[in-house]
Chains A and B, each alone.
Chain A
Amino acid sequence: MDKKKGLELIKLEVLGCLNEKDMESLKILKESNDDFPWKELADYQNLVALIPLALEMKYPASELKDKTAMKLYNIRDEIKAKIEAKKAQEISSKPVEEEPQLEELVEMEEIVEVEEKVFAEAEEGVNINADESFRLVSNFKEKNESKNLIKETHDSADVHVLKSAPEKDVIEKITRDYIKTHIEKEIDLLNQSVKKNKILSIILFLITLILIGALYFIK
């Protein structure tokens, strides 16, 4: 009897149209009945999820990926807290462990700095493509890989030096390098073409003078 009732309620639940009373009845059945038809619930959940297959496929705007990445970036603190809690749980569950790693904290701070820098660039209008923007969110796998790299190549003092380097200097240096490699070249090219044009104008002027002179003598 309970199973039959459960099955009837399941069919309505998977469609999302149970009223509160039936929802409560189904909850009680799930919790109290060993005979609850879980397999049938599973089958109907899968069946209903297949219904949208019959729809004609639509595609979201490509910019939506960037917007989503930004939303994800904005919840970075919450995710960081979750990861730290996870780490803390892992550490506390290990019987004998080395003391908490300073490098891990340093690494986390570095990640935040990099993220904030890129976010600031994004706000300033530096174009970030969708592929990059999703990675900004917080690629924790890469972070773990980079953590190992940091461990191998730097001692913690080096990391501190890197960390304390003012971002402004870095940005200025990048800007100077960019001007050197890109803009200076263009200015040189422009100057050269101006010189060429000047010489050409003088030559043309002289030719005109000669022609006028020649015409005068002919007359």
Chain B
Amino acid sequence: MAESNSLTDAEIMLKIAGYDSKALEKLYDRYAPVLYTLIKKIVTDKETAEEILSDVFVIIWRQIDHFDFKTNNTYTWLITLAHNKAIDVLNRRGGKKLPEYTDEYEKEHIIPKLSPEVQALELEEVLKRKGKMEKALGSLTDAQKYVLELSYYGGMDQEEIANKLKIPTVTVKSKLQVAIGNLMQKLSEAN
């Protein structure tokens, strides 16, 4: 048990790649709350959120070959995977016209494609940055926070945000770019 607790996220992922179900269980224990929190924020409904979380772990088990063991960024891969899946469910339930959910679709739109230069992040170290992230987000203007929320948690693209806010798409683009740029800057300063 102690050995299992001392495993890094990357080591757990490596074991999962060998279809070690204990490792998958360990990953579940470690990541379920943080993934569930994100999914629940997106879909809001408890039952749907749990269903999605469960599906995310099935995807991990089935598609572990798509995890990049060179960059080993478990945290960002899992968060992005859960985000993509939750947004997909949200959009489908909202009546958005999307292609049929197939294995190919999953590989193309749900499985994260991280940059080959991405720096590895592990949950334990990430959780230590919680305060800094809250501070960085808090320093954004209300308008910046709002467009970020609409896109990241609301799953809206530029046009949908423009329609909702009744402003031109170009303005939405620029607001989003400024918001994310500012967030990067504030977090770098905090670090």
Contacts and interface: CB of A to CB of B under 8 A. Distances in A.
A11 B180 contact: yes
Given A54-B130, A60-B53, A68-B58, A17 B176 contact: yes
Query: B interface, how many residues as a size bin?
Result: 35 or more
A114 B131 CA distance: 48
A56 interface: yes
Given A45-B115, A46-B73, A60-B50, A15 B151 contact: yes
Contact of A38 (B62, B79, B115): B115
B10 interface: no
A39 B21 contact: no
B144 to A, nearest CB: 12
A75 interface: yes
Contacts of A57: 33-34, 37
Contacts of B87: 16
Interface string B44-72: 00000110011101100110000000000
A49 B79 contact: yes
Nearest to A20: B157
A50 B184 contact: no
Interface residues of A, number: 53
B94 interface: no
A18 B156 CA distance: 9
| Interface hub of A8, A22, A51, A67 (most chain B Cβ within 10 A) | A51
B36 A59 contact: yes
Nearest to A141: B20
A53 B35 CA distance: 10
Contacts of B32: 59-60, 64-65
Contacts of A79: 19, 61-62
B19 A83 contact: yes
Given A17-B157, A38-B117, A79-B62, A58 B184 contact: no
Contact of A54 (B55, B133, B177, B181): B133
A39 B15 contact: no
A52 B79 contact: yes
B13 interface: no
A54 B134 contact: yes
A64 B156 CA distance: 29
Given A19-B157, A49-B121, A58-B37, A64 B20 contact: no
A16 B83 contact: yes
B89 interface: no
A191 to B, nearest CB: 44
Contacts of B57: 68, 71-72
B22 A16 contact: no
A68 B28 contact: yes
Interface in B123-159: 126-127, 129-130, 133-134, 137, 148, 151-152, 155-159
B152 A16 contact: yes
Interface string B77-95: 0011001100100000000
A56 B117 contact: no
A53 B84 contact: no
A61 B134 CA distance: 26
B24 A134 contact: yes
Given A42-B115, A134-B21, A140-B19, A52 B41 contact: yes
A10 B156 CA distance: 16
A64 B47 CA distance: 10
Looking at A16, A17, A83, the one whose CB has the most chain B CB atoms below 10 A away is A17
A55 interface: yes
Nearest to B184: A47
For the complex of A and B, 3 pairs with smallest distance between CB atoms: A140-B19, A42-B115, A42-B118
6 contacts: A47-B180, A47-B183, A48-B152, A49-B79, A53-B127, A54-B130
